[in-house]
A and B are shown apart, each in its own frame.
Chain A
Amino acid sequence: MATKQRSSSAALLRYLGVRLALVVPTVLILVTLVFFLMRVIGDPISAKLGGQLTPDELERRREAAGYNRPIFVQYFEYLGNVVQGDFGTASKDNRKILDVVLTNGAATVELVCWSLIIAFLVGIPLGRLAARYHDRLADVTIRFFAVLVYAAPVFFLGLVLKLIFGAHGLGILPTSMRVSRTTELALADLGYDSHFMIVDALRSGQWVYISDVLKHAILPAVALGLMEAGIFIRLIRINLLETLRTDYVVAARARGVAERRVVSKHAFRNALIPVVTVMGMEIALMLCGAILTETTFEWPGLGYALSQYLLARDFVAVQGIVTAIALLVAVISFLIDVINALVDPRVRY
């Protein structure tokens, strides 16, 4: 038995090793793609200031920034910098991109976490309900709901929420930023700066701050969470319908296992395997949603920063943030692989 266990965990490690090794080329391809795509329009300086400066002045600035060297030299230099964690400096506000990524990244991660809580709370029960009452009224209603939340762009959903709950509607919830100014200053005074607002608020132990953070999170989390819930509902419904028809579910019924247990211990557990896999692929979609949500609610995350830099035509910053997001996606999809290996014993084999 001991040897069996050991060989199985060795297989698991090998599987994860292979997966990890695959992350590298993925990231490399993306970084390369982004770099060269951005350079098709010229270097960041000409792209931003072309036409506004005299040719001589432009040339002088390009030379100062090193953009007149061969493109491959610049490419490898950029790669080297990225490896060392240097994504460049934004010309708009002279912030280090790495700084922006860390500060605003925390906000994005926090938003995604809140929205996932909403998505799980809404999506999983509704998905299970729809599968259970397949083709009946509950299923039909839930399917239409899922289609609608999918069809509504996050920013439109956010906008409607803002109209309803914002100052001109019910006026009960804040519609922009992560916290109110006073809370932010108070937390900063206390010396908490993890960039995760809820963590800082909890550390302060003051209900005023905690509730302020939570209130700010509700609308963005609901907007993004409902979009994700739409995905979950569809995924869980269809996979549960499929596992409910498998032989092992019939076999479990045939040995007298109670229906509730058949669904939760056999059908649902197996339905989760493809759900987790697909979730790994939907991460990219969720990040898109996060970018739009942040812009709608002025939530100072990566997406918000990105849209600000885009408007300012600061392409060094855009390239840096896009590269950082590519890294983030790669890391998350690796984590999904780990979860997958834990859920499905066949992967470890």
Chain B
Amino acid sequence: MDYEWNVAINKAIVNNAPKVEKILRENPYINDLAADLREKKLDVLNNIDKYIKQTEESVLRSGGGFHLARDSNDAIDIVRKIIGDKKNIVLSKSNVLYEIKLRETLASEGRDIWETDLGEYLVQINNDMPSHLIAPAIHLTKEKVGKILNENLDKSIDENSKTEDMVHSVREFLMKKYLAADVGITGANAVSADSGSVILVENEGNIRMDTVLPGIHIAITGIDKIVPTLKDAFNEAIVQAANAGFYPPTYINVSSGPSSTGDIELKKVTPATGPREFHLILVDNGRSDAIKSDLMESLLCIRCGRCYFSCPAYRLYGKDFGTSPYTGPTGIMWSAIIFKEYDKSEMCMHSGGCGEVCPMKIPIPKIIEKIKFRYTG
């Protein structure tokens, strides 16, 4: 095993796993929310066409644009049509953006496009790929980060710099990008069908910037992120954050259409201070087929990333266990759904910890067994 990875993963496990256990023990209502959320998400998957239609109607009602993308190319074409020749783009951390290869495609067209989550920014300037769903730079030690920043951003930062100074340096750089951005592109933790709202959980504050400062906000996510109601969407945010070890989350953002005001005679006028345009792009990319298959429960995943730290294969192989950004136990399922890649499932030892800790009670070991069957059957 790579020494640097061994150090990084062990630190991450020690820092995260007991914290999540304590959060859930001290806040038992979160497991109740998770159980309820599972039922709601199952209902959506079982009636996906109805919920997509309802989401579309809700987004249009709120003054936003709604788009359904069959696959990655379709999604990127929709983005191109929305943004036209606008060049300055900021991104929030999103696995779906990686999935459709948005950043590399738009960058190759000469656009100035930046990840604004600190971990994703580090991955971007290191020409790397994320190693964890919610902690993309988990494979980088502090010393390595210092070296990367020195080479790519700020000569005053090096391996011996304080973490606070590293964060400050990135903040200074990104602040200029937020202010110059024409377009902010985010993912979504949940999308509520009844209100057409996008919910985003974060701690850094970058998503607030991405969704408010640019004139156009585009949220791109999978159809699996739809939940029936805004209440369910908030519940998903809480369950996701707690199982990721961030409770309470620093920020939960809600975007329901473009910015608006009713301050003059209570007449709703849009735009106000924030974006003048809001667009939701729901991506299929194999998800509809998966809903009809024996992989269906995979789509219940809320991307908390807890399963990674209970998995011996992830400890050993890191981001090679899966197809980035979909790594770890949940990534084996998502690599199968999105990329039709089954081979990495053979690295799974069926240790079973992933299924134990999954807040959505996805039977991950049994699903991986079925993916193994696809590989060798």
- The answer to whether A and B belong to the same complex is no
Task: Point out residues on B near A: beta carbons under 8 Å.
Answer: none
